[in-house]
């Protein structure tokens, strides 16, 4: 897998570029790639998101319909966004979302943070993502597979403005408590990793074949 490091990219511009990335992967003119970046503040939501989950009024932060799975979530400064453009035909069968969850958990473990993935009880709202053992959510995941190629990916909270999550229903879970590496490092008296260290740890695990 090839790593592509980007800076801050507006969400809608990133979606336009992602369309090109997936076409390139289907055509075989580009390898599997992990794009690491951030977005200016934006709330995105999927087609099945209830409108009541969205913020009624949040000045300065647009709300954008996303063409991915999952419910409403926030992207903004202080998050690491990872977009995975992978050809699943070459990787073989398997649960790509569980692979991503486990890779992020392992990467965070390398940085000293204990996290888990959670199974979703039948009939319940999806618990896909990365969580602390006491039930706070650290990373959200929403992916799409079309023509055997993945797009979209994950949002990992390093040090974002967590108060934004209080203005809407994140991930379809009205009782979810979001957290960040900054918050966890303070509570556990752990050294705060740099964004570069987080990027390296994440890529170090996601480059491995599922």
Determine whether 87 is an active site residue: no
Catalytic residue among 34, 139, 164, 171: 171
For residues 204 and 34, give the distance between their C-alpha atoms in angstroms, rounded to a whole number.
Answer: 11
**Residues with Cβ < 8 Å from 179, sequence gap 6 or more?**
132, 136, 137, 138, 157, 162
201/127 Cα distance (integer angstroms)? 23
Strands (E), the chain: 2-8, 33-38, 42-45, 63-65, 73-75, 79-85, 130-131, 136-146, 149-157, 177-178
Q: How far apart are CA 135 and CA 208, in angstroms?
A: 27
- The answer to whether the beta carbons of residues 178 and 94 sit under 8 Å apart is no
In degrees rounded to 5, what are phi and psi of residue 185? -65, -35
Cβ neighbours of residue 135 closer than 8 Å, sequence gap 6 or more: 177
Whole-angstrom distance, CA of residue 14 vs CA of residue 18: 6
Any idea which residues carry the catalytic annotation? 171
């Amino acid at each position: 897998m090839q790593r592509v490091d980007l800076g801050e990219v507006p969400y809608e511009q990133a979606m336009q570029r992602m369309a090109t990335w997936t076409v390139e992967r289907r055509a075989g003119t580009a390898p599997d790639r992990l794009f690491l970046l951030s977005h200016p503040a934006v709330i995105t939501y999927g087609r099945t998101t209830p409108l009541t989950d969205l913020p009624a009024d949040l000045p300065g932060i647009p709300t954008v319909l996303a063409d991915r799975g999952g419910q409403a979530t926030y992207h903004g400064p202080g998050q690491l966004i990872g977009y995975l453009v992978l050809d699943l035909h070459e990787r073989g069968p398997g649960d790509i979302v569980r692979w991503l969850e486990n890779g992020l958990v392992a990467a965070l473990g390398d940085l000293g943070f204990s996290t888990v993935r959670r199974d979703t009880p039948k009939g319940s709202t999806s618990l896909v993502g990365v969580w602390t053992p006491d039930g706070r959510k650290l990373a959200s995941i929403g992916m799409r597979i079309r023509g055997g190629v993945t797009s979209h990916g994950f949002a990992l909270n390093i040090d974002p403005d967590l108060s934004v999550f209080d203005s809407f229903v994140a991930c379809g879970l009205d009782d979810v408590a979001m957290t960040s590496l900054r918050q966890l490092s303070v509570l556990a008296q752990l050294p705060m990793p740099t964004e570069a260290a987080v990027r390296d740890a994440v890529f170090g695990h996601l480059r491995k074949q599922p």
